[in-house]
Structure 1
Amino acid sequence: MLLKKIQLKTIDYKFGLTICFLLFFNSFISAQEIIPDVVAEKPVEVPSGQRQKIDGIIATVGDYIVLDSDIDKGYLEITSQGGSTKDITRCQMLGKLLEDKLYAHQAIQDSIIVSDAEVRGMMEERLNYMMQQVGDINKVVAYYKKNSVEEFKTYFADILKEQKLASEMQKKIIDAVEITPEEVRNFFKKIPKDELPTFGAEMEVAQIVVEPKVSKEDEQKVIDRLNGIRKDVLDGSSFATKAVLYSQDPGSSSSGGFYKMTRKTPFVKEFKDVAFSLAEGEISEPFKTNFGYHIIMVDKIKGQEVELRHILIAPTVSEDALKEAKERIINIRKKIESKEISFADAARTESDEKETRANGGTLVNPNTQDTRFELTKMDPTLYSQVSNLKDAEISQPLLNTDEKGKKTYKLITVTNRIEEHTADYAKDYTKIKELALKEKQINAIAKWFDEKIKDTYIKIIGEYRDCTFTNNWLKK
């Protein structure tokens, strides 16, 4: 029964997160928001059997209000993403709206700050994507039923700020939750044997990567180009505009190169060293990381946090360099096949990928931080490269192009296969720890809501007072 309770809680929690991402966070996820050309001409759709009502305030949480139309917009957003709303009641939708209002309200009480610069960066990113989808800002304005571009931008900036406040507050709660090995052990012991989870088939994978060498001449061309951009900005040009036009960083170019970071933010050391050496308004000289060459301009320094913009340009790899890299990796494969050297030792001595080199080329799953990859959840590209490999078989040289356009050659091998099995504490500790941590996070969030609801002004109006909520919004 314990595991069933965990699963029920997780389902309830996942419903909240699903609505959160579909309804609110789709503004951040560029690959998902699509604005139909004609959606603005259609009336708001609500589940069958429910009447359209005159809009008005239906709830208040602290300084925030919820309109009846906010629920209808929630349904519209989910259906525009291809989701189904037939099993989502208006009470459930209101409950999720109330959660996010409370998150945002408490974020302000806890002095969590979302800067105007950050909101502008988010706004630029979202608008650029919307424009790519529909080609006309007026269609975006019509979709959101606003009378002008400026009215829409004001409205959308408030939404983005509220979303960011809510997500930062939720992150603060979850990040504070830690779990000890003893708690993990106790969690596992409480699960009845006939209710232990089953984990799917997995494999461990290793790779050797060879990077084509870039000529000094090609590197100097990039440095000269960045110096030219730097000079233009010093002469009055917009750094943000230059980043949109020229930066090859897919994570920031559309938002004018904007990043907000602390020393704990997982950026490469070279980038952080330069970022934290600059004063406000200062622009760095071009510098190199494993991604290419950068220049950074610091917008604002707030204590241990830096708001900055950067431009990344990577040198072009010549055909001769690609040919030389392929010949090198073919020779490495021949040595492994002839037993001159093991795959792991070849990775340690020959691979250009420093993240995996020391570990004999073994890949780490970015989602779980262990070395196992569940087949049903494996990245499709990686799966296609390893699915047909037999034990100890080495792939042919593979030309790989990453999201930044960087080309490398690699060899891949499967080092271990784990069949589908019932959870084992020793073998599956990492996964069991994740389950235990998730339960503890769910309990922490539930406790947080119980405490904050008691201390916050909350009012629900009209027929919505008859709703049955997961949280005690009615303070009964």
Structure 2
Amino acid sequence: MNRIRIALLGIMMILSHVALAQEDSLQTENNTKAVTLKDSVSETKVISKRIKVDGVASVVGDFVILESDIDKSFIDMETQGMPTDGITKCQVLGKLMEDKLYAHQAIQDSIVVSDAEISGEVQGKIEYLVGAIGSMEKLLNYYNMEDEQTFREELTEITKMAMLSQRMRAKILEEMEITPEEVRIWFNGIPEDQRPVFGDEVEVAQIVKKPKPSKEEVEKAINRLKEIKRDIEENGSSMAIKATLYSDDPMVTENQGFYSFSKKDQFVKEFKDVAFSTPEGEISEPFESEFGWHILKVEKIRGQVVDARHILIQPEISDEAREQAKTELDSIRSKILAGEFTFQTAARNFSDEKETRFDGGVLRNPVDFSTRFELTKMDSKLYSQIGDLQGDEISQPLMEETRSGIVYKLVKVIKRYPSHTADFSQDYLKIQDLALKDKQLETIREWMNDKIKDTYISVGSDFKECDFTNNWLKK
């Protein structure tokens, strides 16, 4: 039983990639748009026409899943570089059916997704796609749509269904926790020869110095933004084109500087403060954040959501400022090696990175927020920086380009953990995460089986022999 549970956890993680591919791909979702069986006769005729071409793989409540939806899911995964080896059509269909059951039950439970939220999500996707493909005309041709309004309506319905599905699943698992005793029981229930093995891991710390631009370079950036602002306001220039040409935001090639967000979203405080205080249609004065200097135009205010476009200019860093940062790090490194203070003390006193300085420079793994990084799963850039370090060795000053500009840093491996079989005390956080996922999996399975009994489910003849995780065949 424990071996089966561990295997199911692996399948769940694989299928989560399938879910992302399904939710993020417009081409797939365009063909998997939810269609209610209670709709008008004219819509029923459209469904019938599609059925003759594709064939129905399954019906879940009011929603139809076509065989072509499954094929396009595989295409989407391959396009996005996701591995498809070992993933079967049965597994993909099972995941699509889960999504539709979530959405169906969300409607039954009166779960609401506001028009403002849907509109913001749709606008963000359209802006992203237009930026990626080149123009709205090319986008409509690519998806074989007659006009922009039709495309927006299709995408709005798709987005609504995806958000309903996400919220239904979140509701099922909301406030779910796992106690230390439950974790202990779960772990002790795994035979020793079947316990997970964790690869080589390290704890890493760094001291960061960020070269400061001169006052002249800051003024130059501010004046450039003022010129751009004036050109847009007085001459009607396109801010999207200006962003594409001049913005230092690394996402500009994909979104032309456009972002749609609420106050709860994770944008820097300065950016949100300006966005939510600037009137619709107006462009802000230049303002500073940790990323550089911006101007921002509020394109639309939709309740608690703002559609804004910005241009970021990062002031040039002089060669002298760069050399000064490296010289400071060289001095800090020499004093650590001479025993004047520890690496952790130096990080607390000299590092410019506020996220790590108070932890003595120790980095947090963005996956689980622990201090450990598994070498085989570590970011390639970080791995290249610490790969050759031995013992208590401290790197020479390293230059790195980040979203907030150029930084220099010293890196040290604080501790190494050799590959080993899971140990309850040493690996508690990882074990806790596995145990919680198993508990969530069991909760979802119970919910699915319960709702399947009360929901109309039909599976196409070509899939009757599938060994589904859930009881879709109601055997």
Query: Where on the TM-score scale, by shorter chain, does this alignment land: which range?
Result: 0.7 to 0.9
Match of 2:414 in 1: 415
How far is 1:397 from its partner?
A: 1.0
* More displaced stretch, 340-349 vs 67-76: 67-76
Residue 118 (structure 1) aligns with: 121
3-state SS of 1:390 partner: coil
* Aligned pairs (5 A) from 1:86-125: 87-107=86-106, 109-113=110-114, 114-125=117-128
Give the aligned partner of residue 131 of structure 2. Answer: 128
CA 1:157 to 1:289, structure 2 compared with 1: closer, same or farther past 3 Å? same
Compare 442-451 and 313-322 and name the one that shifted more: 442-451
Query: 1:270: which partner in 2?
Result: 270
- CA 1:435–1:85: 2 relative to 1, 3 Å: closer
Kept in 1: contact 2:121–2:159 (CA 8 A): no
Q: Are positions 1:354 and 2:354 aligned together?
A: yes
Measure, in 1, the Cα distance between the counterparts of 2:253 and 2:120: 15
Relative distance call for 1:434 and 1:472 in structure 2 (3 A) is same
Q: Contact 1:292 / 1:312 at 8 angstroms: preserved in 2?
A: yes
Q: 2:168 and 2:217 mapped to 1: Cα distance?
A: 46
Query: Which structure 1 segments of 5+ residues have no match?
Result: 29-51
Deviation digits for residues 158-188 of structure 1, max 9, x if unmatched?
Answer: 5555445544554555554333334333333
Q: CA deviation at 1:69?
A: 2.1
Contact (CA 8 Å) 1:280, 1:301: kept in 2 or not?
no
| Counterpart AA for 1:412 | V
Q: For the residues of structure 2 that align with 1:207 and 1:431, how far apart are their CA atoms? A: 24
Matched with 2:176 is: 177
Q: How far, CA to CA, are the matches of 1:244 and 1:454 in structure 2?
A: 53
Q: Deviations over 1:209-250 (max 9, x none)?
A: 111111112112222333344445555655555444443333
Partner of 1:320: 320
Cα distance in structure 1, aligned partners of 2:106 and 2:246 = 36
Following superposition, the deviation at residue 106 of structure 1 comes to 4.5
Q: Deviations over 1:24-45 (max 9, x none)?
A: 43569xxxxxxxxxxxxxxxxx
Q: Is residue 190 of structure 2 the alignment partner of residue 191 of structure 1?
A: yes
Distance 2:189 2:338 in 1: 51
Q: Note closer, same or farther for the CA distance 1:448–1:257 as it changes in structure 2 (3 Å cut).
A: farther
Secondary structure class of the residue paired with 1:220 = helix
Question: Quick check: 368-377 or 110-119, which moved more?
Answer: 110-119
Deviations, residues 279-315 of structure 1 (Å, cap 9, x unaligned): 5555443322211123344432535x55544333221
Equivalences for residues 321-400 of structure 1 within 5 A? 321-400=321-400
Cα contact 1:123–1:157 (8 A) shared by 2: no
**TM-score of the superposed pair, with normalisation by structure 1:** 0.80
Q: Secondary structure of 1:383's partner?
A: helix
Amino acid at match of 1:473: W
Which range moves more in the overlay, 464-473 or 419-428?
Answer: 464-473
Q: How far apart, CA to CA, are the structure 2 residues paired with 1:136 and 1:110? A: 33
Pairing 1:472–2:475 present:
no
Output the amino acid matched with 1:249.
D
Q: Partners of 2:83 and 2:211 in 1: how far apart? A: 47
Relative to 1, partners in 2 of residues 1:353 and 1:388: Cα closer, same or farther, differing over 3 Å? same
Q: Structure 1 residues 196 and 15 mapped into 2: Cα distance closer, same or farther (>3 Å)?
A: closer
Distance 1:310 1:451 in 2: 48
Cα distance between partner residues in 1 of 2:396 and 2:11: 46
- Shift in Å at residue 400 of structure 1? 0.9
Structure 1 pair 387/189, CA: closer, same or farther in 2 (3 Å)? same
Cα drift, residue 61 of structure 1: 3.2
Q: Which residue of 2 aligns with 1:70?
A: 69
Partner Cα distance (1:330, 1:22) in 2: 46
Output the amino acid matched with 2:294: H
- SS of the residue corresponding to residue 115 of structure 1 reads helix
- Residue 303 of structure 2 aligns with which residue? 302
Assess, with a 3 A threshold, how the Cα gap between structure 1 residues 152 and 247 changes in structure 2: closer, same or farther: farther
Give the Cα separation in 2 of the matches to 1:351 and 1:111. 46
Whether the aligned pair in 1 keeps the contact of 2:132 and 2:253 (CA below 8 Å) is no
Question: Given the two structures, how large is their TM-score scaled by the length of structure 2?
Answer: 0.80
Q: Are residues 450 and 160 of structure 1, via their aligned partners in 2, closer, same or farther at CA, if it must alter by over 3 Å? A: same
Query: Structure 1 residues 165, 315: CA separation in 2 closer, same or farther (over 3 Å shift)?
Result: farther
Q: Within 5 A, what are the aligned runs for 1:241-280?
A: 241-251=241-251, 254-278=254-278, 280=280
* 8 Å CA contact retained: 2:335, 2:341: yes
> Separation in 2 of the partners of 1:130 and 1:105?
33
What letter corresponds to residue 268 of structure 1 in structure 2? Answer: V
Indicate conservation of the 8 Å contact 2:262/2:306, yes or no. Answer: yes
Aligned to 2:285: 285
1:466 positional shift: 5.5
Residue 351 of structure 1, CA deviation: 1.1
Letter paired with 1:342? T
Q: Distance in 2 between matches of 1:191 and 1:75?
A: 34
In 2: Cα distance, 1:316 partner to 1:208 partner:
22
SS where residue 203 of structure 1 aligns?
Answer: strand
CA distance in 2, matches of 1:21, 1:418: 32
CA distance in 2: counterparts of 1:107 and 1:157, whole angstroms: 17
Code of the aligned partner of 1:68: E
Secondary structure in 1 matching 2:360: coil
Q: Does 1:427 align with 2:420?
A: no
Q: Tell me whether 438-447 or 455-464 shows the greater mean CA deviation.
A: 455-464
Answer whether contact 1:347 1:360 (CA < 8 A) is retained: yes
Contact persistence 2:145–2:151 (CA under 8 A) = no
Contact 1:246 / 1:313 at 8 angstroms: preserved in 2? yes
Amino acid in structure 2 at the alignment position of 1:302: G
Q: 1:53: how far off?
A: 8.0
Shift in alpha-carbon separation, 1:459–1:246, aligned structure 2, 3 A:
farther
Q: What SS does the corresponding residue of 2:54 show, helix, strand or coil?
A: coil
Asked if the contact 1:202/1:373 (under 8 Å) is kept, the reply is: yes
- 1:430-468: CA deviations, max 9, x gaps? 111111121122223323433444554544455445544
In 2: Cα distance, 1:297 partner to 1:344 partner: 42
Distance 2:337 2:174 in 1: 46
RMSD: 3.5
Gaps spanning 5+ residues in structure 2: where?
28-50
- Quick one: which amino acid aligns to residue 190 of structure 1? G
- Name the aligned partner's letter for residue 209 of structure 1: V
> Per-residue deviation at 1:55?
2.1
